[in-house]
Amino acid sequence: MSDQDGRAARDREAARWFDDDAGPVVRPYAMTRGRTRTTAEGRLDLIAQVVAESRAQETIDDQTLSPEHVDIVELCRQAPLSVAELAAELDLPVGVVRVLIGDLLDAELVHVSRPVPPAELPDEKVLREVIDGLRAL
């Protein structure tokens, strides 16, 4: 195989991993350094709301954060977003987003709030009785 043939083969191989419209392909496990779980796994269901901490203003200067970490903080700085919304906005798998949010939780750059589960909400009958009582006043 000549040097020119070898170079052409390398170029074909590189082209297979690059899409002009999408940019270079980064495998999800590369973003999470091979991790599939986080210590906050139980708190990060699809509807958990991610909120940026006030000290998150410093994140842009933090060289230890990946671009995806910074994107999550920036999006949550604008408004709280659910895990599912972040995954959709970043066009990343939910599992990857959970691991990245777990990193941000460990760094105390975001916090997670969970909506009240339906089982813990007051019964509709109780609410109607309260409204009737208030109307009677």
Whole-structure pTM value: 0.62
Q: What is the pLDDT of residues 25-67, one digit of tens each?
A: 566 666 666 676 777 777 788 888 898 887 656 655 666 778 8
Average pLDDT taken over every residue of the chain: 77
Residue 52: per-residue pLDDT: 87
- Asked if residue 98 has pLDDT above 60, the reply is yes
Q: Cα dihedral angle (122, 128, 133, 134), rounded to 10 degrees?
A: 90
Spatial separation of the C-alpha atoms in residues 34 and 27, rounded to whole Å: 10
